[in-house]
């Protein structure tokens, strides 16, 4: 008997989960037995506050927790488990690595998801919290799969295609914006197109991804280019690209089109 599809998304901040897998979650929400677990290392309390958002630095963490809940309600598929690890924003890399691995491992062993999604070594933006969470999740995944039982069939890393990065940078320059510099922390980091293993067409649910993104009001200024309108946001949400960190895709095999394809 095939296992029901299940997914654990392990990221650093509220809004890190708003892209990357949100479309895939919408596409699979009606699968029999589908389960979605979300693990957030920090509440993002040290983040920026976009103009017009009525909160303060002291209250931002609580505000972003509410944004996270609102975002998944707007998306339409609330996580079956929404776990907060409560590390300090911006300081996850300073946490004891074994402790961080252990806390993620505990959740993974309780959930035993088929697919675990997290950050790759580049953290997508080079953010030190992203990198620390991705590294700890990779380690937790490999430890978890040593325990016999269901799940742990695939580990994936969110990624941006180099061709997409180049196209976005050209547009930024045309609009008078500074191009993204992948050597600078918080700037996007692309991977070679040939490194992408799974590419999901999420056009039919892009409006739901966008609805979730729009609830992260406090971070709007850092989520997208200032000149980007909602139509372009929806275009951005029309494709999800990931790298298969484990097991690797056999050389020469076709690009997968779904997180659960072949499982």
Q: Output the CA angle 132-138-142, nearest 5 degrees.
A: 150
- Verdict on whether the full-model pTM lies above 0.85: yes
- The pLDDT value recorded for residue 172 is 84
Mean pLDDT of 147-165: 95
Q: Is residue 92 assigned to a domain?
A: yes
Q: Is residue 37 assigned to a domain?
A: yes
The CATH number that applies at residue 216 is: 3.40.50.10320
Strand partners of residue 157: 118, 243
CA 263 from centroid of its chain's CA atoms:
21
Please check whether residue 76 is in contact with residue 208, taking contact to mean a CB–CB distance below 8 angstroms: yes
- The pLDDT value recorded for residue 228 is 61
- The pLDDT value recorded for residue 225 is 60
pLDDT per residue over 194-249, tens digit each? 999 999 999 999 999 999 999 999 998 777 665 566 677 777 889 999 999 999 99
Neighbouring CB atoms inside 10 A of 10's CB total 28
Q: In this model, does residue 82 exceed pLDDT 70?
A: yes
- The pLDDT value recorded for residue 211 is 93
- Report how many domains make up the chain: 1
Please check whether residue 197 is in contact with residue 242, taking contact to mean a CB–CB distance below 8 angstroms: yes
Give the closest residue to 111 by CA, choosing from 84, 135, 144.
Answer: 144
**Percentage of the chain with pLDDT > 70?**
97
Q: In this model, does residue 50 exceed pLDDT 80?
A: yes
Q: Is residue 149 assigned to a domain?
A: yes
Q: In this model, does residue 51 exceed pLDDT 70?
A: yes
Q: In this model, does residue 45 exceed pLDDT 90?
A: yes
pLDDT per residue over 91-103, tens digit each? 999 999 999 999 9
The residue with greater pLDDT, 39 or 228, is 39
Average pLDDT, the chain: 94
Mean pLDDT of 131-139: 98
Q: Is residue 252 assigned to a domain?
A: no
- Alpha-carbon gap, residue 127 to 114, rounded angstroms: 27
Q: Is residue 256 assigned to a domain?
A: no
- The pLDDT value recorded for residue 171 is 86
Q: In this model, does residue 1 exceed pLDDT 60?
A: no
- Residue ranges making up the domain that contains 140: 6-246
Q: Is residue 262 assigned to a domain?
A: no
Mean pLDDT of 31-53: 96
Q: Is residue 19 assigned to a domain?
A: yes
Q: Is residue 53 assigned to a domain?
A: yes
pLDDT band at 117 (very low <50, low <70, confident <90, very high): very high
């Amino acid at each position: 008997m095939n296992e029901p599809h299940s997914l654990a998304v392990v990221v650093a901040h509220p809004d890190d989960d708003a892209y990357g897998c949100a479309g895939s979650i919408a596409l699979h929400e009606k699968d029999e037995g589908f389960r979605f677990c979300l693990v957030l290392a920090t509440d993002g309390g040290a983040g920026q506050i976009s103009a017009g958002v009525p909160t303060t630095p002291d209250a931002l963490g609580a505000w972003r927790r509410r944004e996270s809940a609102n975002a998944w309600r707007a998306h339409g598929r609330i996580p079956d488990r929404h776990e907060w690890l409560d590390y300090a924003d911006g300081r996850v890399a300073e946490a004891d690595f074994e402790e961080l691995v252990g806390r993620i491992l505990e959740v993974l062993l309780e959930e035993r998801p088929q697919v675990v999604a997290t950050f790759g070594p580049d953290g997508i933006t080079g953010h030190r919290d992203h990198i620390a969470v991705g590294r700890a999740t990779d380690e937790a995944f490999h430890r978890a799969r040593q325990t016999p039982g269901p799940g742990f069939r695939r580990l994936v890393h969110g990624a941006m295609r180099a061709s997409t990065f180049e196209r976005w940078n050209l547009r930024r320059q045309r609009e008078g914006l500074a191009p993204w510099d992948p050597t600078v922390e918080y700037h996007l980091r692309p991977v070679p197109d040939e490194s992408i293993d799974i590419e999901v067409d999420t056009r039919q649910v892009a409006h739901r991804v966008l609805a979730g993104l729009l609830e992260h009001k406090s971070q709007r200024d850092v989520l997208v280019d200032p000149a980007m309108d909602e139509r372009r946001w929806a275009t951005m949400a029309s494709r999800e690209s990931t790298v298969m960190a484990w097991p690797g895709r056999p050389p020469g095999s076709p690009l997968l089109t779904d997180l659960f394809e072949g499982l």
